[in-house]
Amino acid sequence: MAIKRFGISLNSTLLKRFDTLLEKKGYNNRSEAIRDLIRDTLVKDDLEYGDNDTVGSITIVYSHDTRELTDTLTELQHRFHTSIISSLHVHLDHHNCLEVIIIKGKGKEIKKIADRLIGTKGVKHGKLSMTTTGKNL
Amino acid sequence: MAIKRFGISLNSTLLKRFDTLLEKKGYNNRSEAIRDLIRDTLVKDDLEYGDNDTVGSITIVYSHDTRELTDTLTELQHRFHTSIISSLHVHLDHHNCLEVIIIKGKGKEIKKIADRLIGTKGVKHGKLSMTTTGKNL
Amino acid sequence: MAIKRFGISLNSTLLKRFDTLLEKKGYNNRSEAIRDLIRDTLVKDDLEYGDNDTVGSITIVYSHDTRELTDTLTELQHRFHTSIISSLHVHLDHHNCLEVIIIKGKGKEIKKIADRLIGTKGVKHGKLSMTTTGKNL
Amino acid sequence: MAIKRFGISLNSTLLKRFDTLLEKKGYNNRSEAIRDLIRDTLVKDDLEYGDNDTVGSITIVYSHDTRELTDTLTELQHRFHTSIISSLHVHLDHHNCLEVIIIKGKGKEIKKIADRLIGTKGVKHGKLSMTTTGKNL
């Protein structure tokens, strides 16, 4: 892919503060940090207005003592098996489990599946984090 | 203030998408858009880790039929009069009022005042939006 | 309006933690706190899916040394005068101003006006905070 | 664990809207929905003020053509092996990978690791989603 280069200008106080932040965050150079800011803006805009396929990562924490959830998860995975790409299960302690479910599809469908999972009895906390397919970024 | 200039590089697909977004958002040039991204990142970092004075804007919507709120607002303004800079009142309809309260101070104090306001009986919705004093940006 | 009453059940540990939080936030009773949680959820859903009029509060911080912004603000206010309800101006220091603009309309239009304001040269930080008309809440 | 029960009151319009939303989100009863709202509030407060161990889920999307990232991941996993509980790798397409890394620890440490991962060259998008250990919820 062709690499383009352009210049940006800003006042020295702002630049100094930005450089300090980059060092703290472990960035090696300004270009990479600015590319990240640009990509994050594009991903946000995609989520709000885009009609393309996107990817969501749902993290739920639940008590496995509640059997119903396992059934709901299984039932959801069957119903939405074309959308759910993969999942990860972590045993947090004797009672609590964490599960991450990766879903690909339209934003609305991903949100619907997330709502169903988070609303299930036994799920203590759930969060949907929207990301990207990585295409055109 | 001294103006510094530096170059950044990115692939042409990413640049094209960024330019399209800037046009949509009404930006005239890339430098200004990138400065905005940089300043937004600094403001976020300030809020999370900073110990300097910052500025918060609290927007509440309430029914003025509930008298208690007016009292609480007055009482809060007296107690925190050194922090509250200004406020704006809007009559949304016969029953509903919107009020914006601008507060300057440490992040924790601003959040505390916001919690008190939003928790008051009669307040239907409240949101704290953290911004900046504008210094060193 | 008719007042309805219903019971909810939760385990004692969760209830104790909730009560502690309510005290910290200055709530006087659980009903009010839970009504706030319910209203906040409805407002969020409205913003994402609703097609009704809503209200946005845009907070911008800018240096008044940049004349262009004043012009843009005036120009925007003329173009969108039916949407902009009110605005508040605060002098933060010799250089920095804070302005809050209250807008009523469809979510998309509010976002468009916010983008235009935040993208204007001289605006150091801008944030759109979506709230509600207060109707049916 | 002892189950407590208490009543809450709200006006009929608000209750009707809440019930409609619950049906849309797939909730079976109001108690579960309100418990979720309560737990979400407690988790948010924990993240902001708490000093206890918590759990974060970092989702990154990157191009595996960039070798450096694999090295950084390995290096980070060695350095923070006591914090990283588990990880999941998904092949999105020929070039793009998605990785979820589950971390347990203090909020600040989790954020630091997330910053390092997201700042690494080749990472196109990264998001930290804070959740909970599930204890006392």
Asked if residue B52 has pLDDT above 90, the reply is no
The CATH number of the domain holding residue A103 is: 3.30.70.1150
Q: Is C134 left (phi over 0), alpha (psi -120 to 50) or beta?
A: left
Question: C66: domain range?
Answer: 54-130
pLDDT in tens, chain D (137 residues): 699 999 999 999 999 999 999 999 888 889 999 999 999 999 988 877 777 889 999 999 998 887 777 787 778 778 887 888 888 999 899 889 999 999 999 888 898 899 988 888 889 999 999 999 998 88
Asked if residue B63 has pLDDT above 90, the reply is no
Check residue D79 and give its pLDDT. 83
CA distance A79 to chain B (A): 35
State how beta strands D84-91 and D96-105 pair.
antiparallel
Residue C74 confidence class, pLDDT cut points 50, 70, 90: confident
Are B121 and B48 spatial neighbours (Cβ–Cβ below 8 Å)?
Answer: no
Please indicate, yes or no, whether residues D96 and D121 belong to a single structural domain of this protein: yes
Are C50 and C88 spatial neighbours (Cβ–Cβ below 8 Å)?
Answer: no
Please indicate, yes or no, whether residues B36 and B89 belong to a single structural domain of this protein: no
Asked if residue A50 has pLDDT above 80, the reply is no
Check residue B55 and give its pLDDT. 95
Please indicate, yes or no, whether residues C59 and C123 belong to a single structural domain of this protein: yes
CB contact (8 A) between residue B63 and residue C134: yes
Distance of CA B104 to the CA centre of its chain: 11
Number of domain units in chain B: 2
Please indicate, yes or no, whether residues D76 and D21 belong to a single structural domain of this protein: no
Asked if residue B49 has pLDDT above 80, the reply is no
Asked if residue B77 has pLDDT above 80, the reply is no
- Is A86 part of any domain? yes
Check residue A124 and give its pLDDT. 92
- Is B81 part of any domain? yes
Tokens of B130: 């953290």
- Is A23 part of any domain? yes
**Chains contacting B (3+ CB pairs below 8 angstroms):** A, C
Which of B28, B90, B137 is opposite residue C124, by nearest beta carbon? B137
Which of B14, B34, B137 is opposite residue A8, by nearest beta carbon? B34
Question: Which A residues in the span 38-67 are in contact with D, Cβ-Cβ below 8 Å?
Answer: 39-40, 43, 55, 57, 59, 61-63
- Is D27 part of any domain? yes
- The mean pLDDT of B105-114, rounded to a whole number, is 89
- Is B7 part of any domain? no
Which of C7, C17, C42 is opposite residue D5, by nearest beta carbon? C7
**Minimal-distance CA residue of chain B relative to C63:** B134
Q: Tell me: the pLDDT tens digits for A99-120? A: 999 999 988 889 889 998 888 8
Please indicate, yes or no, whether residues C125 and C106 belong to a single structural domain of this protein: yes
Please indicate, yes or no, whether residues D61 and D126 belong to a single structural domain of this protein: yes
**Chains contacting C (3+ CB pairs below 8 angstroms):** B, D
Question: Which D residues in the span 10-29 are in contact with A, Cβ-Cβ below 8 Å?
Answer: 22, 24-28
Which of D61, D116, D137 is opposite residue A125, by nearest beta carbon? D137
Please indicate, yes or no, whether residues A45 and A58 belong to a single structural domain of this protein: no
Please indicate, yes or no, whether residues C37 and C93 belong to a single structural domain of this protein: no
3-state secondary structure of D58: strand
Please indicate, yes or no, whether residues D81 and D119 belong to a single structural domain of this protein: yes
Residue A22 confidence class, pLDDT cut points 50, 70, 90: very high
Check residue A77 and give its pLDDT. 76
**Minimal-distance CA residue of chain C relative to B86:** C90
CA distance A100 to chain B (A): 27
Write out the E strands in chain A: 3-11, 54-63, 84-91, 96-105, 123-130
Residue A122 confidence class, pLDDT cut points 50, 70, 90: confident
The CATH number of the domain holding residue D44 is: 1.10.1220.10
- The mean pLDDT of B56-61, rounded to a whole number, is 95
Please indicate, yes or no, whether residues C118 and C76 belong to a single structural domain of this protein: yes
- Is B135 part of any domain? no
CB contact (8 A) between residue C61 and residue B135: no
Question: What interface predicted TM-score (ipTM) does this complex get?
Answer: 0.86
- The mean pLDDT of C2-28, rounded to a whole number, is 92
Residue B38 confidence class, pLDDT cut points 50, 70, 90: very high
Please indicate, yes or no, whether residues A29 and A86 belong to a single structural domain of this protein: no
Q: Residue B95 carries which DSSP code? A: S
Tokens of C95: 């250089």
CA distances B38 to B31, B78, B129, D106, Å, are: 10, 37, 18, 27
Check residue A130 and give its pLDDT. 93
Check residue D48 and give its pLDDT. 77
Check residue B81 and give its pLDDT. 79
Helix axes D12-25, D30-49, angle to 10 degrees: 80
CB contact (8 A) between residue C93 and residue B39: no
* CA gap C90, A46 in Å, rounded: 34
- Is D5 part of any domain? no
Q: Tell me: the pLDDT tens digits for C23-34? A: 988 888 899 999
Please indicate, yes or no, whether residues C41 and C75 belong to a single structural domain of this protein: no
Check residue D133 and give its pLDDT. 92
Check residue C23 and give its pLDDT. 92
Give the mean pLDDT of chain C.
89
Are D96 and D61 spatial neighbours (Cβ–Cβ below 8 Å)?
Answer: yes
- Is D18 part of any domain? yes
Higher pLDDT, C125 or C67: C125
* CA gap C99, D115 in Å, rounded: 32
Which of B3, B18, B137 is opposite residue A38, by nearest beta carbon? B18
